[in-house]
Structure 1
Amino acid sequence: MVLNSMPRSFVKLVLSAAVAATLAASPVQARDATRGDDSVAIIAALLGLVTLGVLLSGNDDEPSYPYGHVSRPYTPTYPDRPHRPHRVSKYRMLPASCLREYRTQTGRKIMFSNQCLNKNFKYARDLPRSCESTLVVKNRKGIYVTRRGYLPECLSKRGYRATRRY
């Protein structure tokens, strides 16, 4: 329909202009100024104003959509994917025996020992370097030494898991 493609305010303006032009172009009879019977003119003017008001008010109860009427919003549906059990490859399984606890000046820290991983984990050189950390700890003699290792929180975010301890 043509009316749905045009804005309502434009349609109202055109219709009101057409009614006003029709009323203005209608022939007006000359009246005697002394007669004093202007009731017909007043009724005609009031009828014109009522018609103009009805056209301008319109029916604003329904929302206007740019592409016609929408009965309900579109929600796409996706097919269900089959459930697959979560598998972790051996490549991602770290030996839990390499998990060490270190006491530092800032508190207790837990990480995978770099030396232990190099001995017991085949893919130690492929671990993410962003997870590597260096700690300063006291050894048994009270001397501060550095220990290198991997933070377990960082590794778990990248898919690595520790095997169970037996």
Structure 2
Amino acid sequence: MIQYSMPRSFMKLILSAAVAATLAASPVQARDATDRDDTAAIIAALLGLVTLGVLLSGNDDEPSTPYGHVSRPYEPTYPDRPHRPHRVSKYRSLPASCLREYRTQTGRKIMFSSNCLNKNFKYASGLPRTCKRNLVVKNRKGIYVTRRGYQPECLSERGYRATRHY
């Protein structure tokens, strides 16, 4: 592997300056207008420009990092852990007695009653607020009232579940 002590852009600058100085220092002879050998001079100038372009373009396929290698982020590997039986946490176990069925104008809805959870569940204040809903239902007297509660589907997506024995 070739290691460079100078950056490529600096080397390209020095090389182009050297080629330009060589072309500028070459003697130019005045020719007669009748001399028809200008085609050789034009071809030589074009060949010099093409060579200069090739030298300046360089090879961009090589890595531009120092010392010619690319560093990659460290990805640690962990050994496989033995399978543990699933434990039911009291924090994630909601009392099934707090599940209520409400009949609304749009149909039947089931949710955990907020009042029941506050009385029977120690961690009710830590339940996710995104799962809390208000339902407008008709009570036994025929009056529309608002009931507050939590959607069971939303709570189960976040790791909560209903248990019979709390």
Same fold (TM over 0.5): yes
What corresponds to 2:142 in structure 1?
142
The separation in 2 between residues aligned to 1:90 and 1:22, in whole angstroms, is: 90
Task: Write the deviation string for residues 27-77 of structure 1: whole angstroms up to 9, x where unpaired.
Answer: 75x88x5xx7775x7646643542332122235553365435756672532
Structure-2 change in CA distance of 1:52 and 1:114 (3 Å): closer
What corresponds to 1:17 in structure 2?
20
1:79 and 2:83 are equivalent in the alignment: no
1:54 and 2:51 are equivalent in the alignment: yes
Unpaired segments ≥5 residues, structure 1: none
What TM-score do the two structures reach when normalised by structure 2? 0.63
Per the TM alignment, residue 3 of structure 1 is displaced from its structure 2 partner at its CA by: 5.0
Say which one has the larger Rg: 1
The separation in 2 between residues aligned to 1:66 and 1:118, in whole angstroms, is: 63
Secondary structure class of the residue paired with 1:103: strand
Contact 2:132 2:149 (8 Å CA) reproduced: yes
- Superposition RMSD in Å: 4.0
One-letter amino acid of the structure 1 residue matched with residue 127 of structure 2: P
What TM-score do the two structures reach when normalised by structure 1? 0.63
Query: Identity rate of aligned residues, in percent?
Result: 46
Contact 2:132 2:148 (8 Å CA) reproduced: yes
One-letter amino acid of the structure 2 residue matched with residue 22 of structure 1: A
Secondary structure class of the residue paired with 1:53: helix
Unpaired segments ≥5 residues, structure 2: none
The separation in 2 between residues aligned to 1:12 and 1:91, in whole angstroms, is: 72
The separation in 1 between residues aligned to 2:54 and 2:128, in whole angstroms, is: 71
